[in-house]
């Protein structure tokens, strides 16, 4: 907030401003002045606030590195682990700007920072997202008086077309997966048929599954944190992700068969955990291990360009091609209708061709 403005009459105004300097000290100032109207008065108050902030010495000494550290320590508590990990990856690209003072960072400085990454790249947009979040945090914490990212155009990035498994590839994978440990068989099946994100399926617990009513709920998500490995947070990726997912009779059978095996294994090795997929120390299965397993499996079968996340895309595409409406697909994927439309509908060439052929098949 800029401050509080009071009209005294006869063209006189009084403004009171308040802000926190980079050392955490609350600073309050006031000024009485004449103006031709409220618009000019607000402009004078804004300039007065800018001058006061600028003259606060600790503010000018704060660097981009100081802001990032502050941002991670305080703002990071309210942000998902995966997001902060992503921000950390983007931060590495800004190494040459770590010691830059905040008071000299202008829109052109932000544009120069973006030039570090190639145009139309995910990295360039990611750097912008990090900087925008950092300066928004600084603005609301009264560390700066405006966000220099506001006057910088958001970088464009068009994600490549989502790759999905063909029917032939699914058949080959089904036979191959059957030869692998049971936990990987279940992870593969649940992800392919329910569209799980890797972070969701790996963090499932038995308490999330309601066998009686044939449904499950996602109550948490996992993320890879540097220096800590796979970490689970008791929060879903989105609010919609917490909705119950219905399970078929086959899902129930697969899960109960695996539960029997899991209980035997845990008793044999003295493992105590409620996670469906775990390590021998009882901790959640490593996300990296799951990705590596699937990548190695695809490589051994000569399947190229497919990642573990492709299973989610395959699930969505199969649902659409089998007649499910967009709203239902979005609900199953625990995603927004807009995201499903933007990500899958336009790229479903097979469905479009089939619809046209059916329309004019006479």
Domains and CATH numbers, the chain: 4-57 (no CATH), 64-140 (1.10.150), 167-354 (1.10.443.10)
CA distance 317 to 311: 10
pTM exceeding 0.85 = no
DSSP annotation of 61 = H
CA distance 186 to 30: 66
Task: Give me the pLDDT at residue 336, please.
Answer: 83
- Are 149 and 131 in contact by the 8 Å Cβ rule? The answer is yes
In this structure, the number of other CB atoms found within 10 A of the CB of residue 362 comes to 3
What b/e readout covers 91-123, taking b as 16+ CB neighbours within 10 angstroms? Answer: bebbeebeebebeebeeebbbebbeebeeeeeb
CA distance 173 to 164: 13
- In terms of C-beta density within 10 A (0-12 exposed, 13-18 middle, 19 or more buried), how is residue 323 classed? exposed
The long-range contacts involving 21-27, CB below 8 angstroms and separated by at least 24 positions, are 21/56, 21/58, 21/59, 21/142, 21/143, 22/58, 22/59, 22/61, 22/62, 22/66, 22/143, 23/58, 25/58, 27/52, 27/56
pLDDT digit string (tens) for the chain, length 362 residues: 457 899 998 999 999 988 776 566 778 889 999 999 999 998 898 888 888 877 665 444 789 999 999 999 888 777 777 788 889 999 999 999 999 999 899 999 999 999 999 988 999 999 999 999 999 999 888 788 889 999 899 998 877 778 899 999 999 999 999 999 999 999 999 999 999 999 999 999 999 999 999 999 988 887 766 666 777 776 655 555 567 899 999 999 999 999 999 999 999 999 999 999 999 899 999 999 999 999 999 999 999 999 999 999 999 999 988 888 889 998 999 888 888 877 776 555 566 666 666 655 55
Task: Give me the pLDDT at residue 1, please.
Answer: 46
Task: Give me the pLDDT at residue 59, please.
Answer: 45
Residues ≥6 apart with Cβ < 8 Å to 73: none
CA distance 127 to 114: 7
Task: Give me the pLDDT at residue 235, please.
Answer: 61
- Are 47 and 41 in contact by the 8 Å Cβ rule? The answer is no
């Amino acid at each position: 907030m800029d401050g509080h403005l009071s009209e005294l009459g006869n063209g006189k105004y009084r403004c009171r401003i308040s802000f926190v300097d980079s050392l955490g000290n609350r600073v309050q100032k006031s000024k009485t002045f004449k103006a031709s109207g409220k618009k000019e008065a607000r402009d004078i108050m804004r300039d007065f606030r800018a001058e006061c902030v600028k003259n606060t010495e600790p503010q000018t000494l704060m660097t981009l590195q100081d802001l990032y550290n502050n941002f991670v320590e305080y703002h990071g508590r309210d942000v998902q682990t995966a997001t902060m990990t992503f921000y950390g990856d983007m931060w590495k690209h800004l190494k040459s700007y770590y010691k830059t003072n905040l008071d000299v960072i202008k829109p052109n400085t932000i544009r120069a920072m973006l030039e570090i990454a190639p145009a139309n790249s995910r990295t360039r947009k990611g750097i912008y997202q990090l900087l925008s979040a950092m300066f928004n945090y600084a603005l609301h914490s009264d560390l700066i008086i405006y966000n220099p990212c506001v006057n910088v155009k958001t970088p464009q990035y068009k994600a490549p077309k989502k790759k999905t498994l063909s029917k032939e590839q699914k058949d080959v994978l089904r036979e191959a997966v059957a030869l692998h440990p049971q936990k990987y068989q279940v992870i593969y099946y649940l992800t392919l048929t329910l569209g799980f994100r890797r972070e969701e399926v790996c963090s499932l617990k038995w308490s999330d599954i309601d066998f009686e009513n044939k449904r499950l709920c996602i109550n948490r998500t996992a993320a890879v944190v540097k220096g800590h490995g796979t970490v689970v947070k008791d929060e879903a990726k989105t609010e919609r992700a917490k909705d119950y997912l219905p399970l078929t009779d086959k899902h129930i059978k697969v899960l109960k068969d695996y539960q029997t095996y899991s209980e035997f294994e845990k008793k044999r090795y003295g493992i105590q955990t409620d996670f469906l997929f775990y390590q021998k120390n009882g901790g959640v299965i490593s996300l990296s291990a799951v990705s590596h397993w699937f990548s190695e499996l695809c490589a051994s079968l000569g399947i190229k360009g497919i990642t573990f996340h492709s299973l989610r895309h395959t699930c969505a595409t199969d649902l659409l091609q089998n007649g499910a409406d967009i709203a239902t697909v979005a609900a199953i994927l625990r995603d927004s209708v807009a995201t499903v439309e933007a990500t899958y509908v336009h790229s479903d060439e097979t469905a479009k061709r089939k619809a046209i052929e059916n329309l004019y098949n006479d």
